[in-house]
Amino acid sequence: MAEQKIRAGVIAADNDKRLSALNADYEALGAKLSRGGIDIDTIAGKVAEFFVAVPSWGVGTGGTRFARFPGIGEPRNIFDKLDDCAVIHQLTRATPSVSLHIPWDRVDDPRRLKSHADALGLSFDAMNSNTFSDAPGQEHSYKYGSLSHASSATRQQAIEHNIECIEVGKLIGSKALTVWIGDGSNFPGQTNFTRSFERYLDSMKEIYKRLPGDWRIFTEHKMYEPAFYSTVVQDWGTNYLIATELGEKAYCLVDLGHHAPNVNIEMVVARLIQFRKLGGFHFNDSKYGDDDLDTGSIEPYRLFLVFNELVDAEYRKARDFHPAHMIDQSHNVTDPIESLIRSANEIRRAYAQALIVDRVALEGYQESNDALMASETLKNAFRTDVEPILAMARFKSGGAIDPVAAYRASGYRATIGKERPIVASGGGGII
Ligand SMILES: [Mn+2]
């Protein structure tokens, strides 16, 4: 039995207040869905088995280029971060794994991470390397790049850092490495596009050689920031080239915030699925750029359309289709635990809505060129309030019917606020 950070009695008491309303809502939605030939219990069962990884950096308060405003009871180290991640999973039953970031989560003996996570009933998802900032005492600076740097010594240091991430990951049961680099340029002419990308590919090939046989490597594209004129891995086309150059263990990671405005991200997802190179996601949301806001808080329809492609691939039994689901957010004005609870729920909501799309009808409308009804078929699913399905999936898995309410009732934040002093800065960041 995993150690429980929130007393089971608190969750049970909150659930007791809500159960009869949930049963009524679930029954009503079940009747509605059954008229369309959908069994609500089947959908709830699939939702209960859909999981998303929480980023260790997400449980601390983030910041912007301008300032960081610390919150109460922020995690002081990776062990505190794992405790907070356990709270999110205990309440949502949707986040059993954590994505680590080196060096922010570096410890003397990584096996201590494994035993702490084991006690909490958590496991580890993809490892994240960091060659976009300089760690204290580092010999060569990444100011002008890392894996694509003009200096071979700097590139070698960046390669070795990624290999260290693999070695830590092996000790704690991770099976993937995510590489995102800040390499790029601020001005036309500052770097040579071709030579930078050649150097990047050569560096990545060195890392790829060290990847264990049962691991995958994810590369993450981003069109701008911190470099404001060009980045070395700027879009999904370049990302696809990387994955094909490296080999069968290399896949593209789609961070929802890393595209130009108005890019049809769901279509990018469809292409990567078709050519068997979709590695997974960094879920978040944005209004203007890489805002790293809570998933589904700005563009829930876009999130649904992404999941529509994922469920379509599931439905068609697409080959090599096993994307990793991870959240990548920065929480500046909310309690990070509450934001991550909400985000995990929104991801499951988009999945549930995509599951109830009438795919036979949709295909029929597509084949007969009925644009209006094809569009309405998607909108019908999106308009359906699937909250009773999400709540029932949580409840039946031992979680909370209303996880934010149960979290607030538990007083967890105030309790840890007494143990963890406020720090003005610390290992948070926006990636
Ligand atoms: Mn990301």
**pLDDT at position 421:** 83
- Say how many Å lie between the CA of residue 162 and the centre of ligand 1: 16
Examine the pLDDT at 27 and tell me if it is beyond 90: yes
- Say how many Å lie between the CA of residue 114 and the centre of ligand 1: 24
Examine the pLDDT at 16 and tell me if it is beyond 80: yes
- Say how many Å lie between the CA of residue 258 and the centre of ligand 1: 8
**pLDDT at position 164:** 97
**pLDDT at position 424:** 62
pTM over 0.75: yes
- Say how many Å lie between the CA of residue 220 and the centre of ligand 1: 7
* 112, 181, 259, 343 alpha-carbon torsion, rounded to 10°: 10
- Say how many Å lie between the CA of residue 400 and the centre of ligand 1: 28
**pLDDT at position 431:** 43
Q: What is the mean pLDDT of residues 150-168?
A: 98
- Say how many Å lie between the CA of residue 256 and the centre of ligand 1: 8
- Say how many Å lie between the CA of residue 212 and the centre of ligand 1: 23
Containing 99, the helix (H) or strand (E) segment is strand 97-101
How many CA atoms lie less than 13 Å away from 267 in the CB half-sphere?
Answer: 5
- Say how many Å lie between the CA of residue 397 and the centre of ligand 1: 29
Question: DSSP string of 357-403?
Answer: S-HHHHHHHHHTT-HHHHHHHHHHHHHS--HHHHHHHHHHTT--SSH
Rounded Cα–Cα distance for residues 359 and 337 (Å): 35
Q: What is the mean pLDDT of residues 367-390?
A: 98
- Say how many Å lie between the CA of residue 159 and the centre of ligand 1: 19
User: Which residue in the block uniquely carries the two structure tokens 């890393």?
Assistant: 258
Q: Which tokens is 365 given? A: 């409308």
Q: What is the mean pLDDT of residues 172-176?
A: 98
Q: What is the pLDDT of residues 185-237, one digit of tens each?
A: 999 999 999 999 999 999 999 999 999 999 999 999 999 999 999 999 999 99
- Say how many Å lie between the CA of residue 411 and the centre of ligand 1: 31
Structural domain boundaries in the chain = 8-419
**pLDDT at position 430:** 45
- Say how many Å lie between the CA of residue 155 and the centre of ligand 1: 22
Examine the pLDDT at 127 and tell me if it is beyond 60: yes
Question: DSSP string of 184-223?
Answer: EESSTTSS-HHHHHHHHHHHHHHHHHTS-TT-EEEEE--S
- Tell me the residues surrounding ligand 1 (ion) with CB < 5 Å: 255, 282, 328
Mean pLDDT for all residues in the chain: 96
Q: 377 — alpha (psi -120 to 50), left (phi > 0) or beta?
A: alpha
- Say how many Å lie between the CA of residue 219 and the centre of ligand 1: 10
Rounded Cα–Cα distance for residues 82 and 122 (Å): 8
Q: Do residues 120 and 2 make contact, with C-beta atoms less than 8 angstroms apart?
A: yes
DSSP summary character for residue 431: -
**pLDDT at position 65:** 85
- Say how many Å lie between the CA of residue 252 and the centre of ligand 1: 12
Rounded Cα–Cα distance for residues 112 and 282 (Å): 27
Q: Specify burial of residue 217 (Cβ count, 10 A radius: 0-12, 13-18, 19+).
A: buried
- Say how many Å lie between the CA of residue 392 and the centre of ligand 1: 30
- Say how many Å lie between the CA of residue 283 and the centre of ligand 1: 8
Strand, helix or coil at 277?
coil
- Say how many Å lie between the CA of residue 410 and the centre of ligand 1: 31
Nearest in space to 411 (alpha carbons), one of 344, 346, 339, 337: 337
Q: Which residues contact 210 (CB under 8 A, 6 or more apart)?
A: 163, 166
Q: What is the pLDDT of residues 52-75, one digit of tens each?
A: 999 999 999 999 888 999 999 999
Cα-based distances in Å from 120 to 86, 138, 199, 212, 362 = 6, 33, 42, 27, 43
**pLDDT at position 425:** 56
Beta bridge partners of 267: none
Nearest 5°: phi and psi at 306?
A: -65, -45
- Say how many Å lie between the CA of residue 282 and the centre of ligand 1: 5
**How many Cβ atoms sit within 10 Å of the Cβ of residue 192?**
12
- Say how many Å lie between the CA of residue 10 and the centre of ligand 1: 34
Examine the pLDDT at 31 and tell me if it is beyond 60: yes
Q: What is the pLDDT of residues 192-206, one digit of tens each?
A: 999 999 999 999 999
Q: Do residues 152 and 104 make contact, with C-beta atoms less than 8 angstroms apart?
A: no
Examine the pLDDT at 426 and tell me if it is beyond 80: no
**pLDDT at position 1:** 75
- Say how many Å lie between the CA of residue 328 and the centre of ligand 1: 5
Q: What is the pLDDT of residues 265-301, one digit of tens each?
A: 999 999 999 999 999 999 999 999 999 999 999 999 9
CATH of domain 8-419: 3.20.20.150
